Amino acid sequence: MTEKAIQVPTRQVVLAGNPNSGKSSLFNRLTGMRQKTGNYPGVTVDKKTGRMILSNRKSYKITDLPGSYSIFPTTTDEKIAAREIINSADGQDTLFVYVADVTRLDKQLLLFTQMLSMGKPMILCLNMADLIQTDPVELERIFSKKYGVPVVSISSKKGLGVDRLKKKIETYHFNLPSHRDDPFFNSQDLSFRSGAFTAKSYDYITFVKDIHATKEVTSKKEDRNTANGTTRKQQILNAQVQDTMKRYALIEPFLHKLQPLITSDPSRTDLLDRILTHRWWGPAVFFGLMLLIFQAIFAWAQYPMAWIENGFAALNNIIYATFPSGWMTNLLTEGILAGIGGILVFIPQIAILFFLIGILEQTGYMARVVFMMDSTLQKFGMNGRSVVALVSGGACAIPAIMSTRNIAGWKERMITIMVTPLISCSARIPVYALLIAMVVPYQKIGGIFNLQGLAFGLMYFLGGFMALAVAWVLKKILRAPSESFLMMELPDYQWPDWSTIIFNVYNKVKTFVIEAGKVIFVISIVLWFLASYGPSDRMAEATQQAEQESISQNLSPEETANLKATYQIENSYAGILGHAIEPVIRPIGFDWKIGISLITSFAAREVFVGTMATIYSIGSEENIKGIQESMEKSTFSDTGEKVYTPATIWSLLLFYAFAMQCMSTLAVVKKETGSWKWPVIQFVYLTLLAYFSSFLIYQILS
């Protein structure tokens, strides 16, 4: 019999639990995937799926839900989890594995008991059991007897007990008797039954669905007054509070008896928090860490960047020596390799950024940053959870904007979405690195810092400052019925999982190379064609003019070739396009070549470097490092003055710091807000902010 013939239909296994309970780590253990994990809330903001095949040869679909504290959601990511739990049909072999942090059970069991009352098939998974001094078997016996479900103790980080969990999943019987004597819910106990709950038999799943449906009520007609003067919506919300309080009243005495059995050593966390969450020392440490990260991006990446650059230069030389001269060789060297090489050289800096941010996430430090920044960000219309998006924006704005789903208030979430693109992302690293090196010397200060690293950090702090300024304005403009508040628990500090961090760095760099590489590959070919060809009469006239000047000035053959390339690119299709927009960008110090890069950068910011590499390599055999020298020699065609003066470079830096040049980010904003209104507003205000900031700095420095 073939394997296909004996294959059993896929069963569903859904991981549920509180934020930061270790669900994502367990998901990775069960599926062999590398879902991002972090020791702070907001990592999983959408459900993730994988597949697992156990020894019984059954295929299991594993789903990792966003963390949630209750079946009654307050944030977008909690709504995703609640919807999945509620809509899971009984009798279809959907098994829930509820993951609870055994060291923090006081907040972990509310959602568990709610799912228990709903009759969901469950296995209780007590995670982080390696951190307590209790016999896991005894703990499993107590919880199993108390709640009538299979229980297993594990450590998802170390992999302890995961095989036992797989065995329990494999042998779970879906015909287990339901929890009939439910101590947590009795519809007769609801003091608001009259008018709100009219059914004689009112089970918990109906109660939950009724509350979810009532929260969607927007019409006053649908929310008419009941007999006792309160609205139906008020009655059901009061019943929700009553249900939650009753559950805590039953959970707390049980956990109080267990407290002597569940002991851990929090002294390390408490000691570190005295410094890292201190009113003054905490922010100082955070900004110091950010500054060290920026320094590391420059200092640690120098040698690998040089290796990549030299590698592409050697490859160019091999191609020139091997293949005959012609349009195909020029396309390969001056177009494709120049464009792609101009972006791949910055991979070391991007990898270092992702690596260091990953350490902060996994150790639990990011949760402290959320806590510390809450009161400050409240003044700017956001809250502490906005820090997750703002710091994550240093890697990429797309997942950062998606992480705002764990912000409960509409106003706070919308402000965070609108200002997150101002945080300098990894796509800006190539732009900053190229331009800063042209205007700031590599000079060490105090043996630790260097001027280029400080300038790099300045660009990040400038983006953060502008994000706060814009948020303050939006706070005054946007209107919301109520302000949200921050409720979260601080996890214990943990050693990072180095293999996970390295794998995440690999995946992020791989995604960056593939996604950016595809765009740059196409744009490099198009740009090479536009910069190499043009109207035949104009190209012929440009060639003739270059030859005449070469004779009159007695130029060498190499100088003549470079002069021809200069005149030809100016009269090419790319030159015509650039000259068309030059009047608009000339007031901020940009020439037509920069104008071309601004247009191509709307696909992705990092395309700027590839564009400049393609444009400035036309007609020459310079290596990638020589592109910077070509830019420094560039002059305005009408005045002969240098283009890349300090005023122009700082103007260009500010433009790329503020402008919305990422179509993918705009698409995500549309998806998260449900309307094109907000991405259009975002694009317009960021473009105007970038233009006038560049205009101001250019006029001052000129």
Tokens of 586: 């000339």
Residue 499 has pLDDT above 80, yes or no: no
pLDDT at 140 over 50: yes
Quote the pTM value. 0.60
573-593 mean pLDDT: 88
Euclidean distance between CA atoms 655 and 443, whole angstroms: 25
Highest mean pLDDT among 120-129, 195-204, 544-553: 120-129
Residue 46's pLDDT band (cuts 50, 70, 90): low
CB atoms within 10 A of CB 220: 10
- DSSP single-letter state for residue 460: H
Residue 267: per-residue pLDDT: 58
Cα–Cα distance between 293 and 379 in angstroms, integer?
A: 27
| pLDDT tens column, 6-27 | 344 467 889 999 887 888 888 8
Q: How far apart are CA 647 and CA 697, in angstroms?
A: 7
Residue type (1 letter), 323: F
DSSP code per residue over 585-610: HGGGT--HHHHHHHHHTTT-TTHHHH
- Amino acid identity of residue 646, one-letter, is P
Predicted confidence (pLDDT) at residue 154 exceeds the cutoff of 80? yes
Q: How far is the C-alpha of 389 from the C-alpha of 652, rounded, in Å?
A: 26
Mean of pLDDT values over 228-244 = 71
Domain borders along the chain are 3-171, 189-258, 282-309+348-477, 520-701
Q: What is the rounded distance in angstroms from the CA atom of residue 162 to the CA atom of residue 402?
A: 30
What is the distance, to the nearest Å, from the Cα of residue 598 to the centroid of all Cα atoms in its chain? 24
| CA 445 remoteness from chain centre | 33
pLDDT value for 83: 86
User: Token digits for 246?
Assistant: 């009753």
How sure is the predictor about 490, in pLDDT bands with cuts at 50, 70 and 90?
Answer: low
Percentage of the residues of the chain whose pLDDT score is greater than 90: 12
Contact 318, 279 (CB under 8 A): no
**If residue 558 lies in a helix (H) or strand (E), which one and from where to where?**
helix 557-570
Burial environment of residue 656 by CB neighbours within 10 A (0 to 12, 13 to 18, 19 or more): buried
pLDDT at position 654 is: 94
* Residue 396 or residue 451, greater confidence: 451
Is the pLDDT reported for residue 244 higher than 60?
yes
Is residue 318 predicted with pLDDT exceeding 70?
A: yes
pLDDT at residue 466 greater than cutoff 90: yes
Task: Give whichever of 269-273, 407-411, 481-485 has the largest mean pLDDT.
Answer: 407-411
Q: In this predicted structure, which of 98-107, 280-289, 292-301 has the lowest mean pLDDT?
A: 292-301
Confidence at residue 5, expressed as pLDDT on a 0 to 100 scale: 38
Distance CA 82, CA 641 (A): 63
CA angle 137, 270, 363 (to 5 degrees): 75
| Exposure string for 294-317, b = 16+ CB within 10 A, e = fewer | bbbbbbbbeeebeebbeebbeebe
Least-confidence region, from 39-53, 163-177, 277-291, 657-671: 39-53
Pairing state between β 444-445 and 8-17: unpaired
How does pLDDT run across 659-670, given as a tens digit for each residue? 987 777 787 788
Other Cβ atoms within 10 Å of 33 Cβ, number: 17
- CA angle 506-348-32, nearest 5°? 5
Question: Parallel, antiparallel, or unpaired: how do β-strands 58-64 and 8-17 relate?
Answer: parallel
With bands split at pLDDT 50, 70 and 90, how would you rate the model's confidence at 382? confident
Closest CA to 94 of 104, 86, 103: 86
- Looking at residue 405, its pLDDT comes to 72
| Residues tagged in the binding site annotation for GTP | 17-24, 42-46, 64-67, 127-130
Query: Cα(572)–Cα(189) distance, rounded to whole angstroms?
Result: 81
- Check whether 594 has a pLDDT greater than 60: yes
pLDDT higher than 90, residue 690: yes
94-101/122-127 β-pairing: parallel
* DSSP code of residue 491: P
Residue among 96, 101, 100, 102 nearest 115 (CA): 96
Average of pLDDT values for 41-57?
68
10 Å CB burial of residue 242 (0-12, 13-18, 19+) is middle
In the predicted model, is pLDDT for residue 421 greater than 70? yes
Own/partner contacts of 148-153, CB < 8 Å, gap of 24 or more, are 148/179, 149/116, 149/122, 149/123, 149/124, 150/123, 150/124, 151/123, 151/124, 151/125, 151/126, 152/123, 152/124, 152/125, 152/126, 153/102, 153/126, 153/129
Please report the pLDDT score of residue 417 as a whole number. 92
Residue 400 pLDDT greater than 90, yes or no: no
C-alpha distances out from residue 26 to 36, 163, 473, 503, 566, Å: 11, 11, 42, 16, 59
For the chain, the average pLDDT equals: 77
Question: What's the pLDDT band for 647 if we cut at 50, 70, 90?
Answer: very high
Band of pLDDT at residue 218, cut at 50, 70 and 90: very low
First-to-last C-alpha distance (Å) of the chain: 81
Of 264, 251, 201, the closest CA to residue 70 belongs to 251
The HSE-up count of residue 493 (CA atoms within 13 Å, CB side) is 15
3-state secondary structure of 176: coil
User: From CA 356, how far away is CA 294, in angstroms rounded?
Assistant: 10
CATH class of the structural domain 3-171 = alpha beta
3-state secondary structure of 537: helix
Binding-site residues for Mg(2+): 28, 31-32
The model's pLDDT over 117-136, given as tens digits with 9 standing for 90+, comes to: 888 889 999 988 877 777 78
Min mean pLDDT across 18-32, 370-384, 597-611 is at: 597-611
Taking a C-beta distance cutoff of 8 angstroms, is the pair 315, 332 a contact? Answer: no
Confidence of residue 446 (pLDDT cuts 50, 70, 90): low
Which pairs from 5-9 meet CB under 8 Å and 24+ separation? 6/57, 7/57, 7/59, 8/56, 8/57, 8/58, 8/59, 9/59
* Mean pLDDT along residues 480-494: 63
Interatomic CA distance for residues 548 and 550, integer angstroms: 5
Tell me the average pLDDT across 252-274.
73
Give the integer Cα–Cα distance in Å for 427 and 660: 12
Look at residue 187 and tell me whether its pLDDT is greater than 80. no
Q: Which residues does the annotation place in the binding site?
A: 17-24, 28, 31-32, 42-46, 64-67, 127-130
pLDDT for the residue 443: 78
Q: Is 674 left (phi over 0), alpha (psi -120 to 50) or beta?
A: left
Q: Tell me the range of 177-191, 215-229, 414-428, 505-519 where mean pLDDT is highest.
A: 414-428
Residue 610's contacts (CB-CB under 8 Å, 6 or more residues apart) are: 338, 339, 340, 342, 343, 520, 523, 524
pLDDT band at 231 (very low <50, low <70, confident <90, very high): low
pLDDT given for residue 620 in this prediction = 46
Rg (CA), the chain: 30
Distance of CA 404 to the CA centre of its chain: 10
What percent of the chain has a predicted confidence (pLDDT) above 70? Answer: 80
pLDDT of residue 265: 54
> What pLDDT does 255 receive?
86
Burial of 598 (C-beta count, 10 Å sphere; 0-12/13-18/19+): buried
What is the pLDDT, as a whole number, of residue 36?
47
**At residue 562, what is the residue type?**
N
Alpha-carbon dihedral of residues 407, 412, 418, 424, nearest 10 degrees? -70
Do the Cβ atoms of 491 and 39 come closer than 8 Å?
A: yes
Q: What is the DSSP string of 63-123?
A: EEPPP-S-SS-SSHHHHHHHHHHHHPPTTS-EEEEEEEEGGGHHHHHHHHHHHHHTT--EE
CB 25 within 8 A of CB 165: no
For 10, list phi and psi in degrees, rounded to 5: -60, 130
